[in-house]
């Protein structure tokens, strides 16, 4: 199995423990959706596809493990670090890149590193694609406007 699938096994176990079926559905959709959007953005921007895909899988893990989204980006970075260290197949540099992206992902109005930006944009992309009829969140509008330009979406 590859490293993406190894991370997904750990994430799946956490999500499976969510008692509420509707919350569980949202968790799967959101984590896999952001992970796939991360892959697409990394392909488009010629960045590290594997690390981006993994960052997407783990980015909201704290929220779903604890059903508590308060400060979930910072707490989730620590939780993701524990998971990645326990898998024993990532370098310190790779772990730092993934965990920094998770740490920064709630700061949608600021610009951070390349992987951080992929994760933030992927989070926005999944929110929009989940139901394109919903209105875009105020703090995500600017990023969505940039994504429309980047993907040449005429909407």
Kindly write down the DSSP assignment for every residue of 63-91, as one continuous string: HHHHT--TTHHHHHHHHHHHHHHHHT-S-
CB of 91 to Fe ion, least distance (A): 25
96/94 Cα distance (integer angstroms): 5
Taking contact as CB under 5 A, which single stretch among the options 4-12, 81-89, 116-124, 136-144 is the one that binds Fe ion? 116-124
* 123: contact with Fe ion by CB under 5 A: yes
Torsion sign over Cα 88, 92, 98, 101: positive
Shortest Å distance, C-beta 145 to Fe ion: 19
Part of the chain binding Fe ion (CB under 5 A), chosen from 2-10, 12-20, 88-96, 122-130? 122-130
Name which of 139, 126, 98 is nearest 37 in CA terms: 126
Residue of 14, 38, 60, 81 that binds Fe ion (CB under 5 A)? 60
Is 121 one of the binding residues for Fe ion (CB under 5 A)? no
């Amino acid at each position: 199995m590859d490293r993406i699938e190894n991370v997904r096994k750990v994430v799946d176990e956490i999500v499976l423990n969510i008692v509420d079926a509707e919350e569980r559905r949202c968790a799967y959709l959101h984590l896999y959706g952001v992970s796939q959007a991360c892959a697409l953005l990394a392909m488009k921007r010629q960045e590290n596809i594997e690390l981006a895909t993994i960052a997407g899988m783990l980015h909201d893990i704290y929220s779903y493990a604890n059903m508590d989204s308060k400060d979930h980006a910072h707490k989730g970075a620590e939780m993701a670090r524990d998971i990645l260290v326990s898998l024993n197949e990532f370098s310190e540099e790779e772990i730092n890149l993934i965990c920094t992206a998770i740490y920064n992902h709630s700061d949608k109005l600021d610009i951070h590193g390349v992987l951080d930006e992929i994760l933030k944009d992927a989070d926005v992309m999944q929110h929009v694609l989940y139901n394109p009829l919903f209105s875009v969140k105020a703090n995500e509008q600017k990023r969505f406007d940039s994504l429309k330009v980047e993907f040449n979406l005429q909407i």
